[in-house]
Amino acid sequence: MKAISVLIGAALIAASCSAAGEEAAPPSTLALQSETIPEPPQPSIETTTTTVPRTVPEFEPINNYHAWHGAPDTTTAPTTTTTAPPATAAPATAAPVNDGGGGAPAVTSSGGSPQAPSSLYKGVLGTYSLDQVFASSAVPSPATAAGTFPLTGGAGTAANRPAVVVKVDNSSKARPQSGLNQADIVFEEEVEYGITRFAAVFHSKDATVGPVRSGRSTDISFLNAFGQPALAYSGANKVIDRLLLNQVNISNYSAARSSGYWRSSSRRAPSNLYTKTSSFSSIAPGGAPPAQFHYRPAGVGSPVGAASGGFRINYPSNKVRWEWNGVGWVRYQGGSLHTTDGEPVNAANVVVVSVKSAGTGLFDSTGAPVPEFVFVGTGNAVIYTDGRRIDGHWTRPTLRDPAILHGNGQRIELTPGRTWVEIVSPGQFQG
């Protein structure tokens, strides 16, 4: 997909995206077939406890915070004149960050410049309308069946509240994570140096989630398919944060301007920030998200596809393997079982989507380029469901649409339950 315009000033593009706390530079060559490739080492960052409403975004080093954001403001929050639905009123004074996660947050104003309701963003890769048509789908978008949850297809009564999307760290120091098996959908996306990060989407249930990390511009495209979601992330550099703030359909609850987060004393910063999704699902405006996938009825096997025992994905600095255990797909990474909250990370379905990437013109503090994956239009997809592999395509006609899965002119149906979406570049998938 071709960017329409690039509007970021040269000074911002050349500036560091500042990812201290992210992994340092890896070796000059990466053995893509190695199952146990070491993850690039992380620099250590010490943080001090603060009792002011704002927290320092971990996407940039603390000593660079003022360079990006100017002098800290501990008394007033940014104001906003966006056309997004108004947020529920909150107390004027936010609770301390290190509150252990108890209670509902006193969420400050999200801020951001005015943006036309139809605009996706203006910046890194151009300007796109939410209703701009990029492709046509061979099958219609999925719909939520009566008596089911929209994001899992499982039986239940869906709460009239928005989805909450939490950005989750996947560095070696962040493992094991919390909350991944309570998410309805999890996206895995590549960031600097080939490491990966998760965007965990919660609606059918709430959870304690973490470690929470920073946002990326890749998030923007798939976020808009969830209607009016709430976005929880630790912060971002000035360029990316402005893009995220300008998403008028998205309630922005960055830790840089909202409470409801705390830091665990059992881990080192920046991989020790946690939150509860109930802090945001209870106050964010908007109703239930639209369905993202077509589902088979519960207990009905897939009539198509070839039997599969598993597959691999070779992200440059994270080797992933999924295996079928007879009832679902179990995840391994770095040669070890991936766990969360004391149990294996697992899913009813894993959808691998091949997505084009482009350089943003931004760099982290070590000089690594920051990529963006443009998840709109159409591309190849491999769907793993019910112990079977189905080759097909994904199509997102507009940025408001989900990734519609289809093959041979027919919709591809998933098993009701949790789904992982692996966003890959050509050549990373190994079936």
- The tens digit of pLDDT for each residue in 139-165 reads 999 999 999 999 999 999 999 999 999
Q: What is the chain's length?
A: 431
What ranges do the domains of the chain cover? Answer: 53-430
CA distance 46 to 57: 13
User: What number is the average pLDDT over the span 219-234?
Assistant: 95
- The tens digit of pLDDT for each residue in 359-416 reads 888 888 788 888 999 899 999 999 999 999 999 999 999 999 999 999 999 999 999 9
pLDDT above 70 coverage of the chain, percent: 72
Per-residue confidence at 13, pLDDT binned at 50, 70, 90? Answer: very low
Residue 85 has pLDDT above 70, yes or no: no
- The tens digit of pLDDT for each residue in 271-281 reads 999 999 999 99
**pTM for this structure?**
0.76
3-state secondary structure string across the chain:
CCCCCCCCCHHHHHCECCCECECCCCCCCCCCCCCCCCCCCCCCCCCCCCCCCCCCCCCCCHHHHHHHHCCCCCCCCCCCCCCCCCCCCCCCCCCCCCCCCCCCCCCCCCCCCCCCCCEEEEECCEEEECCCCCCCCCCCCCCCCCCECCCCCCECCCCCCCCEEEEECCCHHHCCEECHHHCCEEEEEECHHHCEEEEEEECCCCCEEECECCCCCHHHHHHHHHCCCEEECCCCCHHHHHHHHCCCCCEECCCCCCCCEEECCCCCCCCCEEEECHHHHCCCCCCCCCCCCEECCCCCCCCCCEECCEEEEEECCEEEEEEECCCCEEEEECCEECEECCEECEECEEEEEECCEEEEEEECCCCCEEEEECCCEEEEEEEEECCEEEEEEEEECCCCCCCEEEECCEECEECCCCEEEEEECCCCEEC
> What is the pLDDT of the chain when averaged over all its residues?
77
User: What number is the average pLDDT over the span 39-64?
Assistant: 29
Of 47 and 279, which is predicted with more confidence?
279
What pLDDT does 367 receive? 86
Q: Which CATH class is domain 53-430?
A: alpha beta
Residue 87 has pLDDT above 90, yes or no: no
CA dihedral sign, ordered 418, 315, 233, 213: positive
